[in-house]
Amino acid sequence: MVSDPFRMDGKVVIVTGASSGLGARFSEVLTAAGATVVMAARRELAVQELAARLPRATGMRCDITVEQDCASLIDLTVQVHGRLDVLVNNAGVSNIARVETETTEDFRRVLEVNLLGTYTLSRLAGLQMLKEGSGTIVNVASIVGLVGLGRMPQAAYAASKAGVVNLTREMAAQWARRGVRVNALAPGFFPSEMTEELFSSDSGHAWLEKMTPMGRGGRPEELDGALLYLASDASSYVTGSVLTVDGGWTAV
């Protein structure tokens, strides 16, 4: 009998930014695959309410820009569950502004969450995984970290996600011989809090239809398989990769 490599039975997973949007969806997908999931977000009540609806899920408050919050998240996960197998770095923020009006303070704030927060939590999770000689980190990047958009100006977000892409490659290269894999998921445009205006307006839908080779934005369930692939043993020989799920956006 051939086992299903996409199953996550017995795996302990942390998902950040799990109080809404893609993070909440990722938590649902991972628990459905058998994983025990620690859902982390700044909005403690919201994430705990969502976790209560899922099997084998708990919610914890964590601001990934605060190193002590990150350390507590890792420590408590290991104390309660005895291990940490997978980290999904999903938490992120954006700032829509043209370069000439985006302040240095706004630029720094986005980098602190998207890039520095990802680095801090990955480093702390990596230390635990290296002790065990195994582990998987999935960083949620973006196609905006691979190409420019221009007409949806967000230099800070683009820079932060480009940083996440190469941070992924560097961590993967450093840890490949020590049992820890690091990959990135680079979604195109999917419904979330950050893209609510885009998906709720006729002009937004028209823009997506015009700009995306497949003629539409993504549906939430169209990230499920890619997430499970990178998080599970199905990708056991994959590290340092960036998996785009974008309807062909970066192909043209």
Catalytic residues: 157
Strand, coil or helix: 77: helix
Sign of CA dihedral 41, 111, 160, 74: negative
The rounded radius of gyration (Å) of the Cα atoms in the chain is 17
DSSP secondary structure string, 171-218? Answer: HHHHHGGGTEEEEEEEE-S--SSTTHHHHHSHHHHHHHHHHSTTSSPP
> Among 160, 109, 110, which Cα is nearest to 139's?
160
CB 22, CB 194: distance < 8 Å: no
Nearest alpha-carbon partner for 165 in 141, 147, 195: 141
